[in-house]
Amino acid sequence: MNTKEININGNVYLFENEYKSTRIGFVHITRLYINGLFREINTSHYINRAWERYDFQNSMIAAVYKQLREEEQQERIHFLKSNGFSRMTPKRSKEFQEYLGNCPYYKELESVYNRL
């Protein structure tokens, strides 16, 4: 078991990484905990070798990416409902990107993603 911890704005992002051998290769498994609460799991399958700068890099990035997309989807729903919109148009999409840029949790996740 390999762990990596990132602290941002008092929030603790803990990655628990695990290696498992398979019949045709190996798997990297990453569990993401935010402030001690389980948030995401990701598995990355490899046949030959992993081209990473450090162990479990791709699996950790994928776990944070999944969390980013989930947060973006939740914020999109909130944005549409709070403004009384039923669908996203190109103009509203630009407004949503500005709205998303002001979301502190989303910015924090982007910061974690960029640190990996």
Across the chain, mean pLDDT equals 94
HSE (side-chain half, CA atoms, 13 Å) at 69: 7
- For the chain, the domains span 2-115
Q: What is the pTM assigned to this prediction?
A: 0.89
- Predicted confidence at residue 106, as pLDDT, reads 94
Q: Is 90 exceeded by the pLDDT of residue 17?
A: yes
Q: In what order do the strands lie in the sheet with 2-8?
A: 2-8, 11-21, 26-34, 37-46
Spell out the long-range contacts of 41-47 with Cβ–Cβ below 8 A and sequence spacing 24 or more: 42/66
